[in-house]
Structure 1
Amino acid sequence: MKKRMTAIMMFGVSGAACAQASISLYGIMDAGITYTNNVVNGQAHGSNWQFVSGSSQGDRWGMRGTEDLGAQQHVDFVLENGYQLSNGALGQGGLEFGRQAYVGLSGPWGALTLGRQYDFVGDQMPAYAVASNTPAGLLAWSLPAYAAGGYALDNRVWGDQVDNAVKYVTPTLAGFSAGAMFGFGNTPGSVARGSTSSLIVNYANGPFGASVAYYGQHDVSGGGNLQEWAAGAAYNLGAARLFGLVTDVRLSDGDRPRATTFEGGLSYNVTPAVALGGGAQYQKRNNGMGSANQFSLTADYSLSKRTDVYAVAALAHDHAFGAQVQAALGGPSSSNTQAGLRVGMRHRF
C-alpha cells in the first residue's frame, strides 16, 4: 500500500510540474514517386522509378516545449527525430533524436541553446533557396550538395547538425539580429580539434529580408579544414516572392578545392490554394573541375492548411561529372545531363 501511495504521489507531483510548461508535438510526412533518367547503378544504367519519402521536406516528428520562469524569461527545448516514411527506418544514422536535441534559455536579452542543433547556414539560409521556397526539396538541393561529384563541398544549406553546440541569438534591434555558435570537438588537449563555429547577421524590414552567414569546421573527414560563406536575400511582392542565394565552400587540404554556387528563383500564389515556382542554379569550381547548372519548376496545390500535393521537374547539366539531379537518394547520370520528375504529397501536423 505504501509503495502504491508513493507512486501515486510521485505521479501527482510530476503532473503538476508538467502543467507549468507548454509542450507540443509536431511533424512532417512527405511521400511520392520520383523518376530520374540516365542513372548509373553498379554495372547497370537506365531510368529509375523510386518511391521516395522525405523529398520535399525531411520526414520528422518532434516535441517542442517551453516553461515560463517569469519576468519574460523562458526555458525552451526541442527533441526532433528524423525517419523514413517509406520503411520506418530512423534517419541521421539511426540516432533517436538525430535532427535536433537541445535545451536553453530565452528572454529580452536573446536566446541561448545547448545541444545538437543546426548551424546558422542550415538554420536560416534555406529562406533564400530554391529547394525550400518551393516543394522541389532534394531535386533542388542536389547541385549545391553534390558539388564536384561528391559531398565533400556540400554547402550545408539543406541542413546539417552540429553536436555539442552552444548557440546564442541576439534580440532584433532596428531590424538587425545576429548569432554566434561553437561546437566543441571534445578532444583532449585541444579545444580547436574537431570543433565547429558559425556566425550570422540578419536584417528584416517589411517585405525584405537578408542574411550573411559563416561556417567553419576543423578536421573534416576528407582532411583539412572547411570554410563556408553564404549570403541571401528575399523580397515579398504581393502574391510573389523573389529570392536568391550565393554560397562559397572551400577546403584547406590538398589542392584546396572550392565551389561557389549561385541560385535564384520565384514563387507565386496564383490562388490561395495554388502556387507555382521555379529557379535556376549555377556552380563554378576551381582546379579544372568545370561548372554545372540546374533548372527547376514546381506546382503546389493545398488540399488544406496542413496537406498539399505537388509536382516537380528538374534538369541538370554538369560539364565535368555525371550530373545528379536528386540529392542523397539519387544516383549520378551516365552522361553530363539528367532530368527528374516527382509527384508527391506532404502533410504537416
Structure 2
Amino acid sequence: MKKSLLALAALGTFAGAAHAQSSVTLYGIVDAGLAYANNVGGHHLYETSAGNLQGDRWGLRGTEDLGGGLKALFVLENGFNAFSGKLGQGGDEFGRQAYVGLSSQFGTVTLGRQYDSVVDYTGALEVGSQWASFYGAHPGDLDNMNNSNRVNNSIKYTSANYSGITFGGLYSLGGIAGQFNRNQIFSGGVGYAQGPLTLGAGYLNVKNPNFSFFGNNATSNAATSNMAGSTVYSGYASAKTQQVISAGGAYTFGPATVGATYSNTQFKDLGQTPGTGLNPQGLNGSAKFHNAELNFKYQLTPALLLGAAYDYTKGYGVNDAKYHQGIVGVDYFLSKRTDLYADGIYQHASGTDSTGKTAVANINGLSASSTSNQVAAVVGIRHKF
C-alpha cells in the first residue's frame, strides 16, 4: 500500500513538472467599426469595417521546454472578418501565421507561413500599424509595412536580444521543379530598441510577386493578376521581382513620440512574368517608388492618445505618380484590453499611375476615387483577449 502511494505521488510530481514545462495559450483580437469615404468610383461609401487597427484574429501559441535552454514552439493564427465571420487572407484557415520551430539562447528557427523582415523590423514604426488603421497605411501598402502579404514555405531565423539589438532573416523556397529562382522570396533585417530610441531596417526580395506574394492564398488566381487592389501598382503584375528597402525610427520624450520611416520599392523587369493579361500596356524596365512618412503621437492622459502623420509617395522609372497623404487619429483606452478609436485620412494624387492613366487618389483598403482627392474616416472598438 505504501509503495502504491509513493508511486502515485511520484507520478503526480512528474505530471506537474511536465505541465509546468509546456504551455498553450489561446489569444485573439476583435476589431470592428464603421467607415466612410467621400469618393469611391464617384460615389459616397458608408460601410462596416473590420480589423481596422489590427486584423481580427484568434490563435494558439505553444511552447515545450526540452531542457538545456532548448524549447519547441508553434503558432497557428487565423484571420477573420468580425461582421461576416468569413476567413481572412483569401480564405486560408490559418492565413495570418502558421509555423513550428526551435528556440535557444542563440535565437529561434521556425518553418511555415510567416512575416517577412520588413514587417518584423520596420512595420511597427509606420502609423498604419499603430493608431491610424490600415486606411492610414502607405498607398496600396506597396512596401508591405502594414503586413498585407505573408510568406509561404519559409524558413526563418530570429536572433536573441543582444543589449537591445535583434536581427534575422527569412528564405522561402519557390517549389517549382527545374526553376530554382521562380517564386523565391528572401528578406533580412535588424532592429534596436533601448530606452526612448527604436530603430529598424529591412530588406525584401520577391520573385514573381503576383503569384508568390500577392497570390499565395487559397482563392488566389493561378494565372491572372492578384495585384488589382490598388492603382498604385496594379499595372505592374508582370514584374519578375519586387524589391523593398526600408528603414525607420522613433524617439520618445515624456508623453510624446516622434517617428519616421522611409522605403524604396521597385517592381523590376516588367513583362518578364508570364500570365494572362499581366502586361496589357507592354511595359518594360522597372517601376520605382520612394515613400517617406513623418509621424507624431502624444499620450495626453494615460487613457487618451492623439496622433498625426504625413506620408509622401513618389513614383519614378515607369510612372511619375505622386501621392500626398495626411492622417489624424485619437485612441481612448477603456482598459488595457479594450479601446475606442477614430481616424481621418486625406489623400491627393497627381501624375500618371501604374495603369497609364491620370493618377487618382486610392487610399489603402478602398477602391479608387474618380478624382485626384479622397477622404476616409473610421470609428470603432477593439478588444484583445
Aligned to 2:285: 255
CA distance in 2, matches of 1:275, 1:174: 29
Q: Deviations over 1:181-204 (max 9, x none)?
A: 101111112332211000102222
Unmatched 5+ residue regions in structure 1?
1-13, 146-153
- Report how far residue 19 of structure 1 moved: 6.6
Letter in 2 for 1:207: P
- Report how far residue 173 of structure 1 moved: 2.5
Aligned to 1:196: 185
CA distance in 2, matches of 1:110, 1:83: 31
Q: Percent identity?
A: 38
Q: Deviations over 1:290-326 (max 9, x none)?
A: 211100000111111110111111110011322122x
Aligned to 1:10: none
- Report how far residue 127 of structure 1 moved: 1.9
Letter in 2 for 1:156: N
Letter in 1 for 2:266: R
Aligned to 1:25: 26
Q: CA RMSD in A?
A: 2.0
- Report how far residue 20 of structure 1 moved: 4.3
Q: 2:138·2:311 contact (CA, 8 Å) conserved in 1? A: no
CA distance in 2, matches of 1:201, 1:15: 39
- Report how far residue 80 of structure 1 moved: 0.2
Residue 312 of structure 2: which of 282, 304, 317 is its match? 282
Aligned to 2:103: 106
Aligned to 2:301: 271
- Report how far residue 178 of structure 1 moved: 1.5
CA distance in 1, matches of 2:263, 2:378: 26
Mapped pair 1:168 → 2:157? yes
Task: Identify, as 1 or 2, the structure richer in strand.
Answer: 1
Q: Deviations over 1:34-87 (max 9, x none)?
A: 1101210xxxx3211111111221111101111111222111110000000110
Partner-residue secondary structure (3-state), 2:47: strand
Unmatched 5+ residue regions in structure 2?
1-14, 211-236, 270-283, 352-358
Closer/same/farther in 2, CA of residues 191 and 17 from structure 1, 3 Å limit:
farther
CA distance in 2, matches of 1:164, 1:15: 36
CA distance in 2, matches of 1:205, 1:302: 25
TM-score normalized by the length of structure 1: 0.88
Aligned to 1:38: 39
Aligned to 2:12: none
Q: 2:157·2:170 contact (CA, 8 Å) conserved in 1? A: yes
Q: 1:130·1:264 contact (CA, 8 Å) conserved in 2? A: no
CA distance in 1, matches of 2:125, 2:29: 21
Aligned to 2:250: 234
Count of equivalent residues: 323
TM-score normalized by the length of structure 2: 0.80
CA distance in 2, matches of 1:126, 1:219: 22
Partner-residue secondary structure (3-state), 2:129: helix
CA distance in 1, matches of 2:126, 2:54: 13
